[in-house]
Amino acid sequence: MIVRAFLLALLLMGVQGALNSQPSLFGKKVSSLGAGIVKFYPDAAVMETLKVALAMAFVFAVYGIWIASASRVWRVASRESKNVRLPRSVYILPTTVAVTSYLLIAFAGAVEYPALYESAVPAFFPAIVFKISFFTSPGGLVSLGLILLLIPLFPGVPFFRVLSSRSWKKIHLDWWQASRCLGVAVVLAWIFVPRPPGESISANPLGHRPDLTRPNIIWIAVDSLRLDRVDRMGFLPAIQAFRDNLDTVSFRRHHVGVPRTFPSWIEMIQGRYAAETNVRHMFPGFPARDREFDGIVSLAQKSGYRTVAVSDFAGDIFPRFSAGFDVVKAPGLALGTLIRQNIDQMFPLFTPVVTSPGMRRFFTSLKASPAFAAPRHLEDLVGEALDETSIEAQKPSPATASQPVFLALFYSTAHFPYSAPWPYYRAYSSQGYPGPFWFQKNPSLSADDQNLDQAQIDQVRALYDGALKSIDDSFASLVATLRARGIWDNSIVVLTADHGEDLFESGILQGHGDHLRGDQTLRVPLMIKMPAGTSRFPAREFQGISRSIDLAPTMASLAGLKDFPAARHELQGMDLSSGSTRISDLAAYSETEIWFSRTGSVFYQKNRLDYPGISQLLTFDPGHSGEIILNPKYEKMLVVSKHRSLIHGNWKLIYMPTRQGVRYELYDVINDPANEHNLAASNRDVLSAMKSRFLAGVKKIEPHARMMDDFIVPEGF
């Protein structure tokens, strides 16, 4: 009866909570999406709540068995006692132990993934967790909770003696009940104790096959990784060791086209800028995606590679387009997923059950949550993907007999809100930090960020650096795993980023894709390791300009994949290993993406064309599992409003369409990497030459655009 009432109450809470909650993106509730929940997803809310209730009921049942067994152990052990109050105390003590152990374990969950709890707990709680995180580890708390449960197996402990006036040597243990206590502790340990990543990895034949002539391709991208962090001495030792490897070539002036995840990935895969791929923002509707993106992935697939994508929350792009991946292990961006996540996080006392190592496989929506983005979860997925690949490779069919792997691994944790797990969220923080960005920080859409003081800015940078550190540690263990499996040496390994990140430099706020000034968001690392001794790059450092669109043709060439479409003009991807003279004189084009807010005094808000904020921009596509998309009526407005830039030689030209007309800026990127000194007025010749080159380039990548006064305007606007 109690259990039924409990489950019913929970179900009602879940449904009510889901109906009241609006999905949030980047920490901001999106009101235009709230109505869709009731209409399209009542079942997601109900089913997820039932799942949470079942998981909790299971854990409660296990604790119930423990309390029954432990009290029995204690009663039998003190059988001969004449103490009449004994029956009550034998229940109180095991219950106290059980509750204490559960609270310890639950608290460990909050210390490990605190960002998961913030929306559902009182404001004082995060502050306590932050302080305590400097002194304890989640593993220690879980162990303590489990050890407490073993107490009834040791009748000699002091408070057992209170129950029995006899010497403990005369105590009779009920071994059957005692073993049940032990069994329960084992089950709870299975649920809660963290496992080392990749534990399921078995021996893999990929690396040792004598007939394997083609190298594997391991393409690792770190979301929001800035070049300056890789250059900071000793900060990211695994990535730096990879860069300094004798078989690695490092590209020093590498630039992305659109500093936002989805369009940037499509550019990397296709070897073409967004204006040509027609994926120019994060929320492309079905018409823009309903085709085969026939870039490097599909070429690898057609050439016999087994193609695999592995990612966490920022990798929600991979299930949304068809690029030729055989296997995609990444979450999707659907309204149903957001609803399930909300429910999984709604009961903070039970969140540790839902996120525990034993249970998380049943709550897959959490994989799409930034608050649960631990890089080590990806190591498990890589292990699974490689195991599946090696099983395929062992099949005696000629088609798969020597199938090499093409793995795209995309780490999200350094993307805002930078919510890495313990100990990374506090690794670079000050212990006396006063809050409120204890564990995560999204860009503010209400322009509040303009008022942050230095302590807050330091904390945001500390969270970002901690997130990078968690990725570097994971990268180190990934390299070790790949070496152990014999895959590393015969692989081409690429490490890069989809864009960088602004962290309050030069009066600019936080995030990426809002503007084109400075190196922070446009300039990222690119490192390519060839199989030992096979590099055909002339030097270990490439000092010229390279672009993210060059990656695909370069990978194709290095792996000997034929027929990657050749560049027809300067702003299409080129093979960086070709040694051609064109490669030493490339120009890099970039453009901004969506502005989610229209407020604030930061320069790009004052120098832009106006359109609504995120609440009105987005809608969902009921025809395609509730995917969140840009409202189609804003597509063309978005293109007209984009800032654009071209970097060539020492110079960067920025084009900004504003209400007062088009504004051009010119920067010397070598002597002014932050782009603080606009030289447009004092260098008219350079400005004019850069403008011609820029406009000629735009004409190539966007042939249907026309000029209206100075504005670049898409067809049909």
Q: List interacting residues with Zn ion (CB under 5 A).
A: 223, 261, 498
State the minimum distance, in angstroms, from the CB of residue 499 to Zn ion: 5
Q: Which is nearer to Zn ion, 223 or 449 (CB)?
A: 223
Q: What is the DSSP string of 550-582?
A: GHHHHHHHHTT---PPPPSSTTB---TTS--GG
Q: Which is nearer to Zn ion, 249 or 516 (CB)?
A: 516
Q: Which is nearer to Zn ion, 21 or 261 (CB)?
A: 261
Of all residues in this chain, which one has the CB nearest to Zn ion in the complex? 261
CB of 83 closer than 8 Å to CB of 163: yes
Secondary structure string (H, E, C) spanning 140-180: HHHHHHHHHHCHHHCCCCHHHHHHCCCCHHHCCCCHHHHHH
CB of 276 closer than 8 Å to CB of 589: no
| Long-range contacts of the stretch 396-399 (C-beta < 8 A, 24+) | 399/304
CB of 69 closer than 8 Å to CB of 181: yes
State the minimum distance, in angstroms, from the CB of residue 368 to Zn ion: 15
Phi, psi of 707 (to 5 degrees): -95, 130
State the minimum distance, in angstroms, from the CB of residue 114 to Zn ion: 23
Q: Which is nearer to Zn ion, 261 or 355 (CB)?
A: 261
State the minimum distance, in angstroms, from the CB of residue 340 to Zn ion: 23
> The dihedral of CA 259, 261, 264, 268: what is its sign?
positive
State the minimum distance, in angstroms, from the CB of residue 471 to Zn ion: 13
Q: Which is nearer to Zn ion, 174 or 498 (CB)?
A: 498
Can you tell me the distance from the alpha carbon of 129 to that of 175, in angstroms, rounded to the nearest whole number? 39
Q: Which is nearer to Zn ion, 180 or 289 (CB)?
A: 289
CA quadruple 539, 542, 544, 545: dihedral, nearest 10: 150
Q: How far is CA 656 from CA 137, 219, 645, 653, in A?
A: 49, 34, 9, 10
Structure tokens at 370: 């930034």
State the minimum distance, in angstroms, from the CB of residue 441 to Zn ion: 16
Structure tokens at 377: 């979860």
Q: What is the DSSP string of 270-311?
A: HTB-HHHHS--SS---HHHHSSB--SHHHHHHHTT-EEEEEE
Strand 28-29 vs strand 24-25: parallel, antiparallel, or unpaired? antiparallel
Q: Which is nearer to Zn ion, 356 or 413 (CB)?
A: 413
Q: Which residues pair with 526 in a beta bridge?
A: 251, 496
Q: Which is nearer to Zn ion, 593 or 702 (CB)?
A: 593
State the minimum distance, in angstroms, from the CB of residue 408 to Zn ion: 14
Q: Which is nearer to Zn ion, 44 or 222 (CB)?
A: 222
CB of 24 closer than 8 Å to CB of 30: yes
Q: Which is nearer to Zn ion, 108 or 552 (CB)?
A: 552
State the minimum distance, in angstroms, from the CB of residue 400 to Zn ion: 33
Q: How far is CA 375 from CA 284, 408, 473, 474, in A?
A: 27, 14, 9, 6
State the minimum distance, in angstroms, from the CB of residue 578 to Zn ion: 28
Q: Which residues pair with 411 in a beta bridge?
A: 222
State the minimum distance, in angstroms, from the CB of residue 177 to Zn ion: 55
Q: Among 496, 544, 495, which residue's Cα sits nearest to residue 647? A: 544
Per-residue DSSP letter, 340: H
Q: Which is nearer to Zn ion, 412 or 481 (CB)?
A: 412
267: left (phi over 0), alpha (psi -120 to 50) or beta: alpha
Can you tell me the distance from the alpha carbon of 73 to that of 177, in angstroms, rounded to the nearest whole number? 6
Q: Which is nearer to Zn ion, 243 or 260 (CB)?
A: 260
Q: Which is nearer to Zn ion, 226 or 243 (CB)?
A: 226
Q: Among 343, 342, 277, 307, which residue's Cα sits nearest to residue 589? A: 277
Q: Which is nearer to Zn ion, 110 or 508 (CB)?
A: 508
State the minimum distance, in angstroms, from the CB of residue 290 to Zn ion: 23
State the minimum distance, in angstroms, from the CB of residue 223 to Zn ion: 4
State the minimum distance, in angstroms, from the CB of residue 124 to Zn ion: 34
State the minimum distance, in angstroms, from the CB of residue 548 to Zn ion: 12
Q: How far apart are the first and last CA of the chain?
A: 64
Q: How far is CA 662 from CA 271, 589, 709, in A?
A: 29, 18, 9
